[in-house]
Amino acid sequence: MRAPTLSSTQFAIFGAMLIAISYGLARFAFGLFVPQMRTALDLSPYVIGIIGALPLISFLLATAVAPLATDYLGARNAAVLSGAFGVGGLGLISQAPNALLLGAGVFACGICTGLMMPALTAAMQAMVKRSMHGRVSSVMNAGTSIGVIVAVPTVLFMVGAWRIAYLSFAVCAAIGVMGAWLFLPSVSRIVPANAAPPAPFKELPWSRLCRLSLFAFVMGFVSSAYWIFAPDLAVNLGNLAPGDTGWLWLAVGIAGLGGAVVADLADRNNPPITHALMLMMLAASLSLLAASPSQPLLAAFSALVFGLAYMSLTGLYLMTGIRLLPGRLSAGPVLPFMAVSLGQATGSPAVGGLVNIFGYADAFSMFAALGILVAILSPFYPGHIEQQDEEEPEEATGLQAAYDNQLQNDEGEPLEEPAEDEAEKPAASSGS
């Protein structure tokens, strides 16, 4: 079956919807419902901690095999498989009678998250012009914010109805599966005619990829303080009502939509400058919340700053990974997304230990200082993105180019090495 043709804008919006389901609903919404789940299932904080680590483990496992799965299954089938795990995981959570089945559902949701973005980037290779890959990737990545925005009202207005909320999430995931089957191309071993052949592994820009992964790891490490402990900080130091912490996440989601513009910002100001700016904003959001947790407006403003900075940085990492691996689009998101997740997994216990020793304000200040330090090192972030996009070189123009194009061999192909030698003779004669 041939997929209907989508324009670049339509594909970006459709991809953002799938990311909203797989990232926003299947992954980040879980933390919002933990208090209700813990009470309903009588779970201890230790058990909740173990369950909370399961989607990270399954996400890393799924992300590691996603490029191979996408190449073998094709973009459409990989996305459908991802959505199927989402439907099953969200449905299982909605009906979970105990910690075991709840953990199984959360684990399945992590697989859904890990498979979706590589499947979408593979589809993008076939459906979107390469000059638009960066912008489309950033718009899709901002879909996470849409999912968070959708999830937050269910926490605020459906208190105690977490099972109904997750059942509705499962229905949304099922609609996403049908959409993926209808609109994504079934590309697998077929490579688009205008796609550059992938470079051998030994010729990949490993230095740039390593630097990208290190920056992504540290960003995930620093951001874990806000994702995990920002609501607790606002409740314990700012006397914010526990039920009102959802408004912070709503602010994060709304501001995160601004991450969709990161492609244009990075291309215009180059990636190191964009990275430094956004990481400084991320650190500022931690400092602002730690300094004024009792001020609701300042706390909400810190959430807005955090949401914009976090989504912009993940979009930048995604775009850089794709452009560093132009012939391996499904592998582009793997390294940075795994690095961010590993950073969050490492940062969560670290910030928890610092909170126990020094308190919330000092712990957040330490993480903010680390973010500022890494922002200062941003000149080492992998170069100008446009230097990596060499699949569509512009034709040379001008008088000299017009003359060079006249030098052809018997097959009508432009001369390579002899062109320089022969060009000198006419140049000399024309000057006489």
The distance of Cα 51 from the centroid of its chain, to the nearest Å, equals 23
For the chain, what percent of residues have pLDDT higher than 70? Answer: 77
> What does the block give as tokens for 358?
């020094």
pLDDT at 2: 53
The helix or strand, by DSSP H or E, that contains position 52, with its residue range, turns out to be: helix 45-73
What letter represents residue 274's amino acid?
T
Region of 151 please: left (phi>0), alpha (psi -120 to 50) or beta. Answer: alpha
pLDDT at 304: 92
Mean pLDDT of 333-346: 83
Report yes or no: 119 and 330 within 8 Å, Cβ to Cβ. Answer: yes
Report yes or no: 183 and 3 within 8 Å, Cβ to Cβ. Answer: yes
Distance separating alpha carbons of residues 237 and 378, to the nearest angstrom:
33
In the predicted structure, residue 252 carries a pLDDT above the cut 80: yes
In the predicted structure, residue 180 carries a pLDDT above the cut 60: yes
In the predicted structure, residue 217 carries a pLDDT above the cut 90: yes
pLDDT at 171: 95
Sequence-ordered list of residues with C-beta below 8 angstroms from that of 51, at least 6 positions apart, any chain: 43, 99, 102, 103, 106
Report yes or no: 93 and 43 within 8 Å, Cβ to Cβ. Answer: no
pTM for the structure as a whole: 0.72
Report yes or no: 358 and 241 within 8 Å, Cβ to Cβ. Answer: no
Distance separating alpha carbons of residues 360 and 430, to the nearest angstrom:
77
In the predicted structure, residue 283 carries a pLDDT above the cut 90: yes
Rounded to 5°, angle at Cα 9 from 8 and 10: 95
Count of other CB atoms within 10 angstroms of residue 288: 20
For each of the domains in the chain, give its residue range(s) and CATH number, in order of start.
1-187 (1.20.1250.20), 204-388 (1.20.1250.20)
Closest by alpha carbon to 12, among 129, 112, 110, 171? 129
CA 290, 244, 171, 100 dihedral sign is positive
* Residue-level length of the chain: 432
The helix or strand, by DSSP H or E, that contains position 16, with its residue range, turns out to be: helix 8-19
Highest mean pLDDT among 3-12, 160-169, 180-189, 400-409: 160-169
How would residue 198 be classed by pLDDT, with cut points 50, 70 and 90?
low
Three-state DSSP at 414 gives strand
In the predicted structure, residue 194 carries a pLDDT above the cut 90: no
Q: 56-110, pLDDT tens digit by residue?
A: 788 888 988 888 888 888 889 999 999 999 999 999 999 999 989 999 999 999 9
pLDDT at 392: 45
Mean pLDDT of 251-262: 82
Cα-atom radius of gyration of the chain, to the nearest Å? 24
Q: 120-153, pLDDT tens digit by residue?
A: 888 887 788 777 777 787 788 888 888 888 888 7
